[in-house]
Amino acid sequence: TLLGGDDRDTLLGGNGDDSLNGGEGVDLLLDTGGNDCLDGGPGSDFLEGDGGLDTLIVGDGADTINGSLFPTSIQFLPPYDPVSFSHTSLNSLSLPPGTDLTPPATPLPPQLLSADDTGIVGDGLTSLRRPRLVGSTEPGAMVYLLDETGSILGTAQADASGQYAVQPDAPLADGMYALQIRVRDVAGNRSGLSAPLTLIIDATPPAAPAAPQLQAADDTGVIGDSLTAVNHPGFVVTGVEAGFTVRLVRDGVTVASRVGPGLLSDPGPVPDGPHIYTALQVDAAGNISPASAPTPLVINITPPAAPAALQLQAADDTGVIGDSLTAVNHPGFVVTGVEAGFT
């Protein structure tokens, strides 16, 4: 029994029962008698039998039996590859003519698909747990995505031009990964491992920032009454992590942003009436926090109508009534036409 590796394996059997478990690659079992079994796994596999019951377990790749006149049984396992038979004698320790034994070139490191680069472009950071990685290799080759432990995370097949896009089959946890590519051509030959692509997965959104606070200079009414005559108000936002982007949102629409905590101004002009301001922060990977608590604000830049003319109070009209003449040096006046609550 020979347990092969991932490359080409050859077993020249004797008169006993021989078994070759070839793994990946092109595998050849040459038999001189006995009941023999070739489980070639992925890749092109060749069983050249003699006397005895010979079994070929086919895998992913083209599989061929060159048997003797003795019965030969085939055990089919998915995927069901074509199996060709020919009754020829074993003449040499060689594979059939034209067999491709040349491994594919070692691929270049994969690249993160631009649409999945959710942070700053090229910073090796994404908020997607199943990011797509792209590259090129031999047309039709199988592409394997591996992590730093050698575990296969996902597979794909290169198209007719050799382009591929592969992504993890299962969501990745937050953390740093060294992702590599290995390919296997249509004949089953395996390439070397690519250099790693270092990628950080960060899919956890940050906490909500504090509610925006109207800056003191723009609080033109009674302090803290949520009323202002400024139609481009500024707000101070705290509770933002350093390096994160904070957004000022008015009535559900982002109107300003900055990096880190500080002052954000609504460029306006904001129409008169009630409005709701909130804030949110975005981390380097592009994760968006929940919205802050709301800050209601009423904008009123429309001046009130002029009040009625001043009327000298009767007690101070010491001369002829209505002659605009008085002997009082601290006259009082009655003012009308003023809205309730106005000063």
pLDDT per residue over 175-190, tens digit each?
Answer: 999 999 999 998 888 8
Which amino acid, one-letter code, is at 230? V
Q: What is the pTM of this model?
A: 0.64
* The CATH number fitting domain 213-299, selected from 2.60.40.10, 3.40.50.620, 3.30.1490.270, 3.40.470.10: 2.60.40.10
Question: Rounded CA gap, 343 and 339, in Å?
Answer: 9
Q: Write down the CATH number for the domain with range 111-201.
A: 2.60.40.10
Mean pLDDT, the chain, whole residue set:
83
pLDDT tens column, 71-111: 344 444 444 444 444 443 333 344 556 667 788 999 999 99
pLDDT tens column, 264-291: 999 999 999 999 999 999 999 999 999 9
3-class SS at 116?
helix
